[in-house]
Structure 1
Amino acid sequence: MANPNKAKGTAWESAVRDYLNAFLGLVDAHGKFLDPMNGANVRRAAQEGARDVGDIHAAPFVLEAKNTRTPAVPTWIRQAEVEARHAGFPFGVVVRKMRGQSVAMGRVHVSVGTWTRMRLALGMPTQEFSALYGWSVSLRRLDTSRWYLTTSVRDFAHLVDDYRRNMPVAGVPRAVR
């Protein structure tokens, strides 16, 4: 790959995909899918056509992976939400690499609206949802469109697992929901 920034982005996407697949028990000890046809497998999305569908699909989430020095989280979140709609998924989130940290310590950012829809889908009170998945709030002045919530990739992996176990997800067998 000639572009070093693209190579770093691709490496981050692959690391997140591999981490989630291992956490969710979808791969063997060598990282091979237990069932390559399983709709629950976390995959890097192939870009097709003019509408971007995000970097990683972990049904029901579209993940937009970012490996940059300078954050632009509210902009990234809007991008992830558009890409989730393009892909036909209900939730778009951003997964940002943290320099010098493991994949598990990467940061997952979501809009207030997405956070609320996830919480309501799981039927959890605000305090319980916030504490269980380690969410912290970032408020940007009075402009609510720039407010977002953040957790770690590790805590997000627990959320994906819990969501799949409790909610009907198209293409995801009940055994892994």
Structure 2
Amino acid sequence: MSNPNKARGDRWERSVLDFLREVFGRAAIRPRQEGHIDVGDVHLSPWALQLKDEASHNFSGYLNDAEKQAAAAGEPFAAAVVKRRRYSVDRGYVVMTLATFRRATARLRRAEELLLRANSDLFDKHMSENLKENENR
């Protein structure tokens, strides 16, 4: 590939996609771009992700682009996934607005509360799995 910036960006996209697929399998996808409408680099519904591997960061611009892409993709949440220099993929930055964080957290908490009300045994299993994940960090 003759453009080194494009090659670096493509490597970052593959790394992030591989990392997400370790847990989410084929639910994490690289959407096909349709014409001139940009729908983001990676989707993991309900997220549309804008991936960036640049030496200097423009978080505001990344988020503006990610939010436009999420809207175009019909996804409710947008975030930028930014390469952190000299670190592995799992140490990259995930950048979102505080409003997005609040909406995503409210959705998660609502789902957990509904699970607890509907089936306390499944809720206990869910919490046990969360504890295992935290121990393996």
State the TM-score, normalized to the length of structure 1: 0.60
Total equivalences in the alignment: 111
- Partners of 1:65 and 1:71 lie apart in 2 by 12
Give the unaligned 5+ runs of structure 1.
Answer: 27-39, 125-161, 163-177
After superposition, give the CA deviation of every residue in 1:65-96 in whole Å (9 maximum; x if it has no partner). 00001110011111101100000101110000
Q: Does 1:54 align with 2:40?
A: yes
The answer to whether the aligner puts 1:75 opposite 2:65 as a matched pair is no
Is 1:107 equivalent to 2:93 in the alignment?
yes
Root mean square deviation of aligned Cα: 1.4
CA contact (8 A) 1:56 1:62 kept: yes
Separation in structure 1 between the aligned mates of residue 99 and residue 36 of structure 2, nearest angstrom:
26
Amino acid at match of 1:15: S
Report 1:21-170 matches (<5 A): 21-24=21-24, 26=25, 41-123=27-109
What is the aligned partner in structure 2 of residue 13 from structure 1?
13
Asked whether the equivalents of residues 96 and 108 of structure 1 are also in contact (C-alpha less than 8 Å), the reply is: yes
C-alpha displacement at 1:23, in angstroms? 2.5
Identity of aligned residues (%): 37
Contact 1:63 1:93 in 2 (8 A): yes
Structure 2 distance, partners of 1:111, 1:62, is 14
Higher Cα Rg, which structure:
2
Structure 1 residue ranges (4+ consecutive) displaced by more than 3 angstroms after TM superposition: none
**Higher share of residues assigned helix:** 2
State the partner residue of 1:3: 3
Q: Distance in 2 between matches of 1:101 and 1:108?
A: 14
TM-score, normalization by structure 2: 0.76
